[in-house]
Amino acid sequence: MCGIVGYIGNREATPILLSGLKRLEYRGYDSAGLALLEDLQAAISSNGHSTQLLSAHQLVIEKCKGKVTDLEELSARNPHLSTIGIGHTRWATHGAPSDVNAHPHTDQSGKIAIIHNGIIENYSQIKKHLISRGHIFQTETDTEVLAHLIGEFFEQSHNLTEAVRLSLNEVVGAYGIAVISSENPDEIVVARKGSPLVIGVGNDNDYFVASDAAAIIAHTRQVIYLSDNEMATITRSGIKTRTISNVEITKTIEHIEMELEAIEKGGFDHFMLKEIYEQPRTITDAMRGRVVEEEGNVVLGGLENHLRELRRVNRILITACGTSFHAGLIGKYMIEQYARIPVDIEYASEFRYRNPIVGDDDVMFAISQSGETADTLAALREGKRKGALGLGIVNVVGSTIARESDGGVYIHAGPEIGVASTKAFTSQLTVFALITIMLGRMRHLSVVDGRAMIRELLALPDKVQQTIENTEQQVKQIAEIFKDATNFLYLGRGYNYPAALEGALKLKEISYIHAEGYPAAEMKHGPIALIDENMPVVFVAPHDDVYEKILSNIQEVRARKGHVIAIATEGDEQITELAEQVIFIPETIPMLTPILSVVPLQLLAYYMATARGCNVDQPRNLAKSVTVE
Ligand code: AGP
């Protein structure tokens, strides 16, 4: 999720753009930049020199890796007089964070600049075509490809709106874009598909553009929200809106009531809840451009150079911490079931110090949302030092673990602000499912089975959405009942044993209630002594091949007066006779059930924490990324 701002009017653009970008810095980003159309006439008259002007306006780009404050210093060193410009904070998806990969990007002519939020899936095909037409690229980004494509169409019509529109009809993917050109100095062209874009209507013939109203609410509360496949041409005299199919449309101006803080959280009370709700989209983004349904297979660009090792591998190692470890444990179960490759998983902090046995043919996956966790980084280094191929499953592009891996798969979950990891976890599981299909199809998994798994994967985002909508209110009520509990047990079997571990971690890290995850069958080996009328026990018990077994575990708990809260498959009537509370989730294949069963567990932790007045987004004693040992 990148930050986009734009301005056109009668005031100086730079301070408006910089203050807007600062409003978006909560999103997390790695670089920032501005593109301005410098009014040379005004510039020259202001410093008194007269000269023959080649063009009344020149396109100026200031951009750098780092924070908005770094960009601010850069702009102060190179002031430009301009009343039209666009600005961007980047959360890298293609191309590591760097000055050159920062937005804005320009076309071949250097006269058109674009900023972009989203992912262009077919950028490599478009890039190949443009290279064949003589285009030279400076960066690894998908956005620069879009800039060159717009430039290519602009050469034909010299109409910026038409050039943008024709380009967008060529791309596959998600975008929120703003485009300016030194040849069209009085307009900003914007468009959106899958990434938010809002146009602010000022009081003095000035207009604002943003990916998030937080960036412009200081200037106006009158806004137009573009919908998918819509675009607008913004000039000082007004806004023209149309679809990218060139159908003119009329948009209503809305008034923003929300306060700034609420807007930054997308209207949610906390980032954690916002990120729980983002999961249908982030799971989609984790799969975007990566499934080849007719072949029952997947394409993972970051592993392309290692297919030979992955075909021959006899043992896979997985290492991680916390929630990422739980994702890795489910990944182990997936890979062993469908690719029949032995998988050893270990906490990174243990692996790094115990002089582990690693073979030259081993492949190690290091799982990390932040890509900066010290123990995981050290374990990756140890595994590589001893001969393993080190692959990362990481969220933050260009992070240390991503850079030190030999390859890997980005999960594309966007910035995760809440300390308690939610959307990153389900995206990690989605990526593990993709890796499992790839490894399985290299071995015994048939195209038919691969297609079936992909169909189930593609159906997941809607099922997650359905789960959120159908369970949130019920979970809120359950939280009210149990908010004063001092201990919880979370039990599961098979794929849902790690889901139980994750549910317990969520609860303890944000509500400060002691909670323990356990394999359900392990209860009788000791923990069952804990069960009494004060012990709530969450069973993750969807329909799968160990369902009957977990029913008997539920009976064992009930016999000792434990309070049973069950996560069960929709339509399961048997469990309703046993559990006090039953939270239903849609049916899916066993390996994907944790992606659904974890959602009510995330919501339960969230509502228990809010009921107890805890600081959900910044729980005590915790950091979002543990970069120390
Ligand atoms: C999860 O909710 C916690 N915040 C924590 O366990 C986290 O998963 C762990 O520190 C690993 O972080 P990473 O994924 O960024 O490496």
Q: What pLDDT digit, counting tens, does each position of 418-444 carry?
A: 999 999 999 999 999 999 999 999 999
Residue-wise pLDDT tens digits, 196-219? 899 999 999 999 999 988 899 899
Residue-wise pLDDT tens digits, 84-138? 999 999 887 777 889 999 999 999 999 999 999 988 999 999 999 999 999 999 9
Which atom belonging to ligand 1 lies closest to the Cα atom of 506?
2
The confidence score (pLDDT) of residue 620 equals 80
The confidence score (pLDDT) of residue 264 equals 76
Q: How many residues does the chain have?
A: 629
**353 contacts 378 by C-beta, under 8 angstroms:** no
Tell me the CA–centroid distance for residue 368 and ligand 1, in Å: 7
Which atom belonging to ligand 1 lies closest to the Cα atom of 370?
15
Q: For residue 624, indicate whether it is catalytic.
A: yes
Has residue 398 got a pLDDT over 80?
A: no
Identified catalytic residue from 2, 63, 265, 614 = 2
Tell me the CA–centroid distance for residue 333 and ligand 1, in Å: 20
Residue 51 binned pLDDT confidence (cut-offs 50, 70, 90)? very low
Q: For residue 2, indicate whether it is catalytic.
A: yes
| Structure tokens given for 74 | 């850069």
Tell me the CA–centroid distance for residue 307 and ligand 1, in Å: 29
Residue 257 binned pLDDT confidence (cut-offs 50, 70, 90)? confident
**Which amino acid is present at 273?**
L
Picking from 35, 30, 34, the residue whose alpha carbon sits closest to that of residue 98 is 30
Which phi and psi (to 5°) does residue 581 adopt?
Answer: -125, 130
Residue-wise pLDDT tens digits, 215-253? 998 999 999 999 989 999 999 999 999 999 999 999 999
Picking from 427, 621, 422, 408, the residue whose alpha carbon sits closest to that of residue 503 is 422
Distance CA 65, CA 79 (A): 19
Q: Where are the domains of the chain?
A: 3-258, 265-445, 464-615
420 lines ligand 1 (CB under 6 A): yes
The residue contributing the CA closest to ligand 1 atom 6 is 322
Has residue 487 got a pLDDT over 60?
A: yes
Q: Is the peptide bond before 461 cis (omega within 30 degrees of 0)?
A: no
368 lines ligand 1 (CB under 6 A): yes
Residues linked to residue 240 through DSSP beta bridges, in sequence order: 233
Distances from the Cα of 176 to the Cα of 303, 457, 565, angstroms: 28, 26, 42
Q: Which residue has the higher pLDDT, 327 or 261?
A: 327
What is the pTM assigned to this prediction? 0.80
Has residue 49 got a pLDDT over 70?
A: no
Q: Which residue has the higher pLDDT, 274 or 57?
A: 274
Tell me the CA–centroid distance for residue 212 and ligand 1, in Å: 27
The confidence score (pLDDT) of residue 433 equals 98
Distance CA 565, CA 119 (A): 40
Cα within 13 Å of Cα(578), Cβ side: 23
Residue-wise pLDDT tens digits, 303-329? 999 999 999 999 999 999 999 999 999
Picking from 308, 298, 343, 592, the residue whose alpha carbon sits closest to that of residue 440 is 298
The residue contributing the CA closest to ligand 1 atom 9 is 322
Distance CA 394, CA 534 (A): 40
| 146: Cβ contacts below 8 Å, ≥ 6 apart | 105, 114, 116, 120, 123, 126, 167, 171, 175, 177
Residue-wise pLDDT tens digits, 588-609? 999 999 999 999 999 999 999 9
**Averaged pLDDT for residues 21-40:** 86
> In terms of C-beta density within 10 A (0-12 exposed, 13-18 middle, 19 or more buried), how is residue 345 classed?
buried
Has residue 53 got a pLDDT over 50?
A: no
421 lines ligand 1 (CB under 6 A): yes
Mutate to test the pocket of ligand 1, among 319, 330, 349, 369 (most ligand atoms within 8 A of CB): 369
Between strands 207-210 and 198-201, the pairing is: antiparallel
605 lines ligand 1 (CB under 6 A): no
Cα within 13 Å of Cα(81), Cβ side: 11
Tell me the CA–centroid distance for residue 91 and ligand 1, in Å: 19
Has residue 265 got a pLDDT over 90?
A: no
Residue 464 binned pLDDT confidence (cut-offs 50, 70, 90)? very high
Residue 154 binned pLDDT confidence (cut-offs 50, 70, 90)? very high
- CATH annotation of 3-258: 3.60.20.10
324 lines ligand 1 (CB under 6 A): yes
The residue contributing the CA closest to ligand 1 atom 5 is 322
- Assign domain 464-615 one CATH number from 3.40.50.10490, 3.40.50.300, 3.40.50.10800, 3.40.50.1110: 3.40.50.10490
Tell me the CA–centroid distance for residue 349 and ligand 1, in Å: 13
- CATH annotation of 265-445: 3.40.50.10490
b vs e for 99-123, b when ≥16 Cβ sit within 10 Å of the residue's Cβ?
Answer: eebbbbbbbbeebbbbbbbbbbeeb
**Averaged pLDDT for residues 34-49:** 72
Tell me the CA–centroid distance for residue 324 and ligand 1, in Å: 6
Residue-wise pLDDT tens digits, 468-477? 999 999 999 9
The confidence score (pLDDT) of residue 622 equals 80
83 lines ligand 1 (CB under 6 A): no
**Averaged pLDDT for residues 394-401:** 87
Has residue 50 got a pLDDT over 50?
A: no
Q: Do domains 3-258 and 464-615 have the same CATH topology?
A: no
Distance CA 61, CA 33 (A): 7
321 lines ligand 1 (CB under 6 A): yes
Residue-wise pLDDT tens digits, 520-572? 999 989 999 999 999 999 999 999 889 999 999 999 999 999 999 999 999 99
Which atom belonging to ligand 1 lies closest to the Cα atom of 624?
4
